[in-house]
Amino acid sequence: MSKRRLDELDQKIVEVLAEDARTSNRKIAAELGVTEGTVRGRIKRMEDEGQIRITAVTNIDHLRNPTLAYIWIEVDSAAEVKAVAQALADTPQIGFVAVTLGRFDILAITLVQNNGQLADFLNTKVSVIPGVRRTECSLGVTFVKHDYRMSKILG
């Protein structure tokens, strides 16, 4: 199946849902000047084709002591990067995994409550993954901007 690109209407629907995924199809339709059935059909198609996923996201502003932990991972060999990245992605506590270029091979991001919790997580979940050579952490201590959508794709 070939990947269908989002057209202008699809993108407008996604923009509305990105602001509030609970917005009714009727309201989206009225705002965009199309029928409710058109909006419903487009959302269903985008979901079915894996182009969007509507989900609830924790607002970290309401957590007691959130610390965003950036875990930089060096892997033993280039051949192991994909397997290590997938093992990290399969770890429920990790919300973001990317294979990177530069000093480290992988970046994983998680939220922790304190340094002890981070140390335990690194020792029991990350460092035990076959192929992980070493880790280094950076901690986000003050949130200047946190957009759970990560970033908008520039058109």
Structural domain boundaries in the chain = 8-48, 60-140
- For residues 99 and 63, the model is more confident at 99
Report pLDDT digits (tens) over 60-96: 666 666 788 999 999 999 999 999 999 999 999 998 9
- Name the H helices within the chain: 8-19, 25-32, 36-48, 81-89, 115-121
Beta strands in the chain (DSSP E): 67-75, 94-99, 106-112, 132-140
The pTM for the full model equals: 0.66
Percentage above 90 pLDDT, the chain? 63
Chain Cα centroid distance, residue 80: 22
- CA 135/CA 155 separation, integer angstroms: 35
Q: What is the pLDDT of residue 149?
A: 59
Mean pLDDT, rounded, for 128-152: 80
Residue 80 tokens, joined: 């192991």
Structure tokens, 38: 């058109």
Domain 8-48 falls under CATH 1.10.10.10 = yes
Residue 32 phi, psi dihedral angles, 5° rounding: -100, -5
> Which tokens belong to 26?
């009727």
For domain 60-140, say whether CATH 3.30.70.920 is its number: yes
